Structure 1
Amino acid sequence: MIKKTLSEKLIQESRGILIRNIINLILTLMGIILIALVWGVKQADLAVFIGSVLTVVGVAFFAQWSILSNITSSIIIFFNHPVKLNDSIIILEGKDYVIEGKVANIGLFFVTLETEDSGEITLPNNLFILKSIKNITNEKRIQAKANDNIQ
């Protein structure tokens, strides 16, 4: 599923490796918990241990919530966002302010846009998924498909 998403969305292979590593980590942790239960570790003891670990991790991530938010947003962009590399987009910031550019990079923490006038703009992933985006490249594809159907 990850390889299919990589090829469809033209995302860097390094990003796919990162997503695979995260999924492997989650599956490994689930496997360890299952093995511990099969070996007879009491559920109450396991729950106390997991609760303690999650509390420590939660406190650590609370200090770094924006990093966690960007990583989560990166996974959402990877699987569900309609914007791909090299798409020309317009980000509607407000009534009178828009950002127009071409998607140059979709990373773990930032999306980089190349603009005609100001070079590069980087947006944190958690803000990128919250913005209203008009995909100019996608509109051109739809229009070209409609023109082919008419002819």
Structure 2
Amino acid sequence: MDSVQLKIIETVVVLAAFALTLFITSKLVNKTVSNNLLKKVRGKIIKKVINLINILVCLIIILIIWGVDQSELGVFIGSLLTVLGIALFAQWSILSNITSSIIIFFNHPVKLDDTITIIDKDYETEGRVSDIGIFFIILKTKEGEQITIPSNVFIQKMIKKKIND
């Protein structure tokens, strides 16, 4: 069997294992969320993080299969992280958005699918929280509009949350 054919077969096996891992982790997260009586929307964010980790692991394994030297891969990842670190350090707002998103996810009383009003002295915004991303909180208004608010701004605003009994 040719070396290239073997690499193709190994790549297909890794991709199949990746798809199986995504399926299993999705089912496991759904089961864990329902067993622990957590909101299902929290599982959505947990799945995003797990999928990102799975994609990175799959990509690294495929690069190793195709003969990328581990020391070269280490230098590339180290360089990438260095550039990313400098970029985040140079742009404090990005770093504060990431930190704010983590705080919102774990400690803020507002969760996904909550209907909220952001109280501002000039303009009030009302909508349903449809996504809590790394950089933005996305609200959907009654009119069907989508409003994105940077996480670091969202955490500083006074929020009125509608309680659904």
Class of the TM-score when normalised by the shorter of the 2 chains: 0.5 to 0.7
How many residue pairs are counted as aligned between the two chains? 107
Are positions 1:71 and 2:126 aligned together? Answer: no
Give matches, 1:1-150, under 5 Å. 8-13=38-43, 15-17=45-47, 59-94=86-121, 96-117=122-143, 119-136=145-162, 138=163, 140-141=164-165
Q: Deviations over 1:92-126 (max 9, x none)?
A: 011x4200111111111111111123611010111
Q: What percentage of residue pairs aligned between the two structures are identical?
A: 51
Conserved 8 A contact 1:101-1:113 = yes
Instruction: Specify whether residues 18 and 69 from structure 1 end up closer, same or farther in structure 2 by C-alpha distance, changes over 3 A only.
Output: farther
Conserved 8 A contact 2:117-2:161 = yes
TM-score normalized with structure 2 length? 0.52
Partner of 1:101, secondary structure, is: strand
5+ residue gaps in structure 1?
22-54, 142-151
Partners of 1:9 and 1:129 lie apart in 2 by 21
Partner of 2:38, secondary structure, is: helix
5+ residue gaps in structure 2?
1-28, 52-81
Instruction: Specify whether residues 127 and 9 from structure 1 end up closer, same or farther in structure 2 by C-alpha distance, changes over 3 A only.
Output: farther
User: What is the root-mean-square deviation in Å for CA atoms of aligned residues?
Assistant: 3.3
How far is 1:62 from its partner? 2.2
The match for 2:61 is none
Q: Using CA pairs below 8 Å that are at least 6 residues apart, which structure has the higher relative contact order?
A: 1
